[in-house]
Amino acid sequence: MKQYIQLIMLLLLPVVLHAQSLSGVSSNEVIPDHPRLLLLKAEEKILKDKIATEPLLKNLHEEIILECNRMLPLSVLTRNQQGRRILHTSREAIRRIFYLSYAFRLTGDGKYFKRAEKELLAVAALSDWNPSHFLDVAEMTAAVSVGYDWLYHELSENSRKEIASAIRSKGLQPSLEKQYNGWLAGNNNWNQVCNGGITFGALALYELQPEESAALVNRALESIRRPMTVYVNNGAYPEGYGYWIYGTTYNVLFINMLETIWKKDFGLCEAPGFLNTATFMQHMEGTAKVVNKLAVKSLERVTESKQANLQCFNFADNGSSTVINPVMYWFAGKTKNLSLIWRELDKLATLEVKKDPSLTKDRYLPMLLVWSKDVSFRNVKTPAERMYTGQGKSALAIMRTSWDSDHSIYLGVKGGTPNESHGHMDIGSFVMEADGIRWAMDFGAQDYHSLESKGIDLWNMKQESPRWDVFRYNNMAHNTLTINGKKQIIAGHAPIENSTEKRGQMSVSMDLTPLYETEVSSLKRGAGIINDEYVLIRDEVRTGNKEASVRWNLLTAATPELIDDHTILLSMDNRKLTIKANGTVSLKSKIWSTESPHDYDTSNAGTTFVGFEFDVPANTRQSIDVILIPGDKQPVMECSEIQLF
């Protein structure tokens, strides 16, 4: 009966989706034979020739083959649910099936086909792909569809039937059910991933169900335009570094599938800001690998970094470790801006030389080779822009003194609102690096399951939600201000203002008043790099009819020393940073513990809060300048001469 109902729903699919369809694909069109997803059969030779002539790609190809050899004796995946999710299983299925299918197509060795077929049949036979958490379904559908398509002509008729049936019943059909497809109306990574994953399935089965598949593709063409509107602010992605990789990779995979089959993108790349979003991502990564080595040992313990050659601006629910990012090669080819892969090539070379096992943990790593086949690695220049700004719900500014100097300064400043998917109460916060050390850091997210399993209503974004009691999520744990011990106001929003880039100064300011309006009448923060020598943070507080007790906070993994009420010295790996504060109020330098009183919070061992406390009387305007000075440098001009607001 269940199979009968599923069949009826699939037959009704064109009717269900007709009202949502944009002008898109037609079921009458002839599309390429298998393999048709991402890499056509005729393109295999192009890829082989590219690998043969480019040492970096040759080494990467060989690493993928070695990893496939390590997969051969592994047991097949099972339905291992953790809390709400089997997402880890779906992602490992992509990694195994994609790698093994790639290895077979490029080498012709039957052992990779046999192992991939074994995995395909195992996950196809699972009871379901966990539609209540639809990301699990989307990624499993992508995994199984790539294997079905890339290995189609080698699979037996029975294997094809079993795999195709699983794609239909466990992937496509649940996407039609209202209780599971709320992501269609979303504007975040869920929409991009789920539309991308389901489109993998629709295109893999196209000749078996042309009307149903065309309808699904047209539904996705309409729906995916919603999250693509978030790129409008100069390409800035509100959910941050890791979610950019997740959502944007699936968005590009979706576009790439359309272009491979229909030779057009149906106008998707015309979405404002979309083709500039790789520039946003490039700026999100901090100081160069060669200087980050100075802090690897200390920072790895704190951030749980697996690569630690770079740190990113990890606002919101993001870790600080950077990763290999295959989709940057697609953007480089699409925009003809080869500087987008300047750092990517360096990361790739470093991980290959080190034989770093994290290299082959990326489930879409074979796409780096596919997207590189038409990209030249010659004359890849260092990026030219040193400053980037983007508005929106996660408004931000990023500036640096150099892309490749051992002594560069990097500053990322966060504006916007906490009321954003995966958002934190981090408005006004910043990260700061100098001499290869991250001096001002951000915790990033805690593992979701560790909180959900303790009953924390983590996805409730209301002002009084338990989410904001999680130690890492509220403003007390970020490099911003806390006034009278209160949390930031969820409904508040602070855009980037007064962006300045001139000789001797890169800076921005923000009006933080909407985040603190119950405590003060006005609050402004400015931040910038001055003379390529030091960072200046300026805060101006205006009180109403009550006094304001202010905490100026900075999170660090360095060892702190209080020199006097205005001065704090940070030390790490034989480097140092001096924090000096001056203002029109009486200041007190402080060190606070990062240990949480809640049993559900993760350990923050190896970190410390440092900063200053001061009081602002009622009906008063006061300001404070804090400068962060690397090494033995001394400011060459008075801060009072510098305009930030």
* pLDDT tens-place string over residues 378-416: 889 999 999 999 999 999 999 999 998 888 999 999 999
pLDDT tens, position by position, 51-62: 999 999 999 999
Q: What is the pLDDT of residue 301?
A: 29
- Rounded to whole angstroms, the Cα distance separating 632 from 610 reads 20
Determine, yes or no, domain membership for 553: yes
Determine, yes or no, domain membership for 103: yes
If asked whether residues 268 and 393 sit together in one domain, one would say no
pLDDT tens, position by position, 237-288: 999 999 999 999 999 999 999 999 999 999 999 999 999 999 999 999 998 4
- Rounded to whole angstroms, the Cα distance separating 615 from 621 reads 11
If asked whether residues 123 and 254 sit together in one domain, one would say yes
Quick check: helix, strand or coil at residue 489?
Answer: coil
**Which CATH number is 68's domain given?**
1.50.10.100
**Residue, of 323 and 254, whose pLDDT is higher:** 254
pLDDT tens, position by position, 337-391: 999 999 999 888 887 767 778 889 999 999 999 999 989 998 899 999 999 999 9
Determine, yes or no, domain membership for 370: no
pLDDT tens, position by position, 91-132: 999 999 999 999 999 999 999 999 999 999 999 999 999 999
Determine, yes or no, domain membership for 428: yes
**Which CATH number is 471's domain given?**
2.70.98.70
Mean local confidence (pLDDT), 421-432: 96
pLDDT of 627 strictly over 70: yes
Q: What is the pLDDT of residue 352?
A: 73
pLDDT tens, position by position, 198-228: 999 999 999 999 999 999 999 999 999 999 9
Q: What is the pLDDT of residue 442?
A: 95
If asked whether residues 261 and 400 sit together in one domain, one would say no
If asked whether residues 391 and 258 sit together in one domain, one would say no
Confidence band of 303 (pLDDT split at 50, 70, 90): very low
- Rounded to whole angstroms, the Cα distance separating 322 from 311 reads 6
Overall domain count for the chain: 2
Determine, yes or no, domain membership for 440: yes
Q: Which of 503, 543, 545, 497 is nearest to 523 (CA)?
A: 543
Among 272, 298, 331, the domain-final residue is: 272
Quick check: helix, strand or coil at residue 275?
Answer: helix
- Say how many CA atoms lie within 13 Å of 491 toward its Cβ: 4
pLDDT of 13 strictly over 70: no
Determine, yes or no, domain membership for 14: yes
Average pLDDT, rounded, for the chain? 91
Mean local confidence (pLDDT), 421-428: 95
Mean local confidence (pLDDT), 580-599: 93
* Bridge partner residues of 622 (DSSP): 541
Determine, yes or no, domain membership for 430: yes
Determine, yes or no, domain membership for 364: no
For a pLDDT cut of 90, what percent of the chain falls above it?
Answer: 82
Domain of residue 564, residue span: 387-633
- What one-letter code names the amino acid at 97? I
If asked whether residues 394 and 259 sit together in one domain, one would say no
If asked whether residues 19 and 165 sit together in one domain, one would say yes
Quick check: helix, strand or coil at residue 153?
Answer: coil
Q: What is the pLDDT of residue 306?
A: 35
* Bridge partner residues of 432 (DSSP): 411, 440
Strand pairing report for 575-583 and 396-400: unpaired
Confidence band of 73 (pLDDT split at 50, 70, 90): very high
Q: What is the pLDDT of residue 405?
A: 86
pLDDT tens, position by position, 288-298: 443 323 232 33
If asked whether residues 391 and 242 sit together in one domain, one would say no
Q: Which of 537, 512, 517 is nearest to 527 (CA)?
A: 537
Q: Which of 532, 314, 290 is nearest to 412 (CA)?
A: 314
- Rounded to whole angstroms, the Cα distance separating 512 from 494 reads 6
Strand pairing report for 588-592 and 534-542: unpaired
Among 242, 272, 302, the domain-final residue is: 272
